[in-house]
Amino acid sequence: MLTTRFPYGAPNWIDLGSPDLDASLAFYSSLFGWRPEPAGPEAGGYVLLRLDGRTAAGAMALDPDRGRAGWTVYFRCADALGTAEAAGVAHGTVVFQPTEVRGLARVAGLKDPAGAAFRVWQPDPVEGLEAATEPGALCWVELHTPDVAASAAFYHRVLGVETSGVSFPGGTYTSLYPAGAGEDAMFGGVVTTLDDPADTGRPPQWLPYFGAADTDALVARATELGGSVRMPATSVPGVGRLARVADPHGYEFALIKGDPAQEA
């Protein structure tokens, strides 16, 4: 489960790059109740998105030279430079070298060999998000890729992430957890794009899941605000009720309300 303790290798930040930042802030504020707050003049226009006064995400105007459109997942690391070098050795791509984001962290932009973009976050001084695993906050991340085994090997080599197979109706899910932390610390999974119609024609990506008190209500609200449904709300025994949607710019994310039996 994602927590705000953020062990090395686990997701600890997420942000949105948008060509129309004001419109995106309006959409997500209406959907999740987030309140935008400028990170300060030294942060170059970066915006913190607050949930009940705690940081749940970040956002910025799209910078095509260094950023990417849509949601980007960050993983906590001890050494951004060393992690970027490890990604290159493992046949990934360094999109941009470690850079200081004043008042927040040292970050690097990377892609895995299949092309899925992600970033690493070396705290300086901010450890990570202040809200996680609750309605309106990041609670899971999922890599959609054509080769599950190859991707799992890459992230193990670069981030130390370990995997295990979790049985569910219809198959086995490849889960992710920090090195040495055990399966109780699972924070995400890896699925093949070959089996998901919602991935047809889409490049590999990290899909963030945000917690929902009522998945169906949030899906309806997202469409009212100009978003679209990529996968309708569906109940998965032992997991919860989840849906996959896109904001008005087409940037995807998922919603989930956990199964009470699983949470017990």
pLDDT in tens, 2-25: 888 889 999 999 999 999 999 999
Tokens of 24: 């995106």
Separation of alpha carbons 63 and 135, rounded Å? 29
pLDDT tens digit sequence for 214-229: 999 999 999 999 999 9
138-263 and 11-123 share a CATH fold:
yes
- Residue 142, Cβ neighbours under 10 Å: how many? 21
The order of strands in the sheet holding 162-168 is: 162-168, 171-177, 188-192, 138-145, 205-211, 252-258, 240-246, 228-236
**pLDDT for 123 beyond 50:** yes
165-206 confidence digits (pLDDT tens): 887 766 788 999 998 887 788 999 999 987 777 777 788 999
| Domains in the chain: boundaries | 11-123, 138-263
Strand pairing of 47-51 and 54-61? antiparallel
pLDDT value at 54 more than 80: yes
pLDDT of 261 over the 50 cut: no
Class of domain 11-123: alpha beta
pTM of the model: 0.94
**Residue 63 pLDDT level (bands cut at 50, 70, 90):** low
% the chain with pLDDT above 90 = 75
Tokens linked to 236: 């998965």
Give the burial string for 16-35 (b: 16+ CB within 10 Å, else e). Answer: bbbeebeebbebbeebbebe
The yes-or-no verdict on residue 67 having pLDDT over 70 is: no
Query: To which H or E segment does residue 222 belong?
Result: helix 215-224
Burial 216-249 (b: 16+ CB within 10 A, else e): eebbeebeeeebeebbebeeeeebbbbbbbbbbb
Q: What is the band of 66 on the pLDDT scale with cuts at 50, 70, 90? A: low
Positive/negative CA dihedral, 80, 141, 10, 127: positive
Question: The domain 138-263 is classified under which CATH number: 3.50.50.60, 3.30.460.10, 3.10.180.10, 1.10.630.10?
Answer: 3.10.180.10
Which element (helix H / strand E) includes 32?
Answer: helix 21-32
Q: How far apart are CA 123 and CA 12, in angstroms?
A: 10
- Strand 70-76's sheet: what is its strand order? 35-38, 47-51, 54-61, 11-18, 70-76, 117-123, 105-111, 93-101
